[in-house]
Structure 1
Amino acid sequence: MDNSKLKYVYLVILSLIWGSSFILIKKGLGEENGVLVLQPLQLGAVRTMISGTILIAIGWRSFAATSKKDWPWLALSGLLGTFFPAFLFAYAQTEIDSAISAILNSTVPLITLIMGALIFGISFSKKQLLGVIIGLAGAIGLVLAGMESHPEQNYLFAGLVLIACACYASNVNIIKRYLQNIKPLAIATGNFVFIAPLATIVFFSADGASIDYTSPKVQESFMYIFVLCLFGTVAAKIMFNKLVQMTSPVFASSVTYLMPVIGLTWGTMDGEFFNIWQGVATAVIIFAVVLVTREKKKI
């Protein structure tokens, strides 16, 4: 299959995988008698450690073949593309629904465009600029609607999702500009070579050694985390790195097209409430993403 068709296959698969990641994070945190089974720092660290173990086992030779001059960019890519977002999303979902996280994550293409223009010197069109403005308005509307319908939730934590989105956007531009000629598996493995030791430090600093691993609830949480690692991190990161190299940063980040739909479906099935104004705000965000990713004429 040629790249012009393969890129859409990757886009759909990644949307399905990452759209399911938010409910897996929620289930990974777990809850027993109103108390979280795992703390956000523990979940983020475990997710990184397990994913790192798998990737280093299968991709060490690929990473070893990379040049040392690329290692700083691989490390930065790992921090921005995986390490910080893993903790930010975990903390965010202690206060807001998984479906809301999925919707806010769809702002990645908008943030990618902004950062690409301001930091990496990538040009953009008037229609794309309009899309960015509309998308940001939709994101604000989504948060305000959520605050009204879910007064028990702290929607200031939605800011953590937007910070994670900025990390993702930075990572996409870094891969495209500085890691274009490195194999996708080598990029993914290199990321974890540098961040897995940091995650281990965080894990033990967050009392990871005191977790009761014999508890059925803890074992259930680890089951969800393992699924998240295997598909949402390991397989998805390799595919996403390939997609970035095949296309543009904005196209690759448009993987968020279908993610809100998948995230909303899982959230609704899990009993999360979603009102009509949140639906309107979601439609506004998706429309903005379409404007940003479809425009090809430059100014």
Structure 2
Amino acid sequence: LIGFLAFKISFSRNQLAGVLVGLFGAILLIYMGSNVNPDQNYWYAGLVVIATILYACNANIIKSKLQEVSAMGIAAGNFAFMVLPALIMMFYSGALSSTVREGEYFMSSLGYVILLSIIGTCVAKVMFNRLIQISSPVFSVSVTYLIPVVGIFWGLIDGERFSVWQVVASGIILLGVYLVNKKRNASQS
């Protein structure tokens, strides 16, 4: 929707239906989770909605304005822009206090954070940027609807309760992802 309204990027009816079905599934998943685990603060789900809107803006800017820039160049620009705020946050949060640095697991934890940032963030960001460039933004960002489904599994590992309605909501999300990709798959055959 943001691609159409702000960037004049067209989309199919299947893609619109898929986005709306997926959004409904995500809202249902959050609502049903709040019924099963009422002692949690669900206002943070609003941050996920804001992040999703910004994610859509990112994908559409890449598709409409940065098509000629390499995926690596886009990722480098993103991370260069984030360095100063990240450093400020790191120093003011106490993340590198002597208590933390002298902790028994500091070096191994730092190693895992570096590994995760290189593989899980940098490489994934370059691949995502390239995916946007060779496909549509709607197709590329449809995977974000899977994040709540993955969150359910992490919740199960953490001991949270889980309801049948959350399974239904997850199925609705997967249906939305299917609808977004339906036209693309049909045109490839």
TM-score using structure 1 length: 0.54
Aligned mates of 1:213, 1:122 — CA distance in 2: 49
Total equivalences in the alignment: 184
Q: Provide Cα deviations, 1:113-147, integer angstroms capped at 9, x if missing partner.
A: x1111111122333333333322222221111111
SS at match of 1:151: coil
Deviations 1:169-220 (A, max 9, x none): 1111111111111111111112122221221112223233435222236556
Letter in 2 for 1:193: A
For residue 195 of structure 1, the aligned residue among 73, 82, 89 is: 82
Tell me the distance in 1 between the aligned counterparts of 2:68 and 2:60: 14
- Does 2:114 correspond to 1:247? no
Identify the match of residue 204 of structure 1 among 91, 95, 99.
91
In the alignment, structure 1 residue 134 sits paired with structure 2 residue 21: yes
Alpha-carbon shift at residue 259 of structure 1 (Å): 5.2
- Aligned Cα RMSD in Å? 2.6
Deviation at 1:225, TM superposition (A): 2.7
Q: What pairs with 1:24-63 in structure 2 (closer than 5 Å)?
A: none
CA distance in 2, matches of 1:246, 1:125: 17
The aligned amino acid for 1:130 is A
Q: 1:226 is matched with which residue: 114, 129, 133?
A: 114
CA deviations on 1:92-125 (whole Å, 9 max, x unpaired) are xxxxxxxxxxxxxxxxxxxxxx111111112233
Letter matched to residue 226 of structure 1: I
Q: Which protein, 1 or 2, shows the higher relative CO under an 8 Å CA cutoff with sep ≥ 6? A: 2
For structure 2, the residue ranges without an aligned partner over 5 or more in a row are none
Structure 1 gap ranges (5+): 1-113
Q: Within 1, Cα distance between the matches of 2:164 and 2:13?
A: 30
2:149 and 2:170 in contact (8 A); partners too: no
Of all paired residues, the percent bearing the same amino acid is: 46
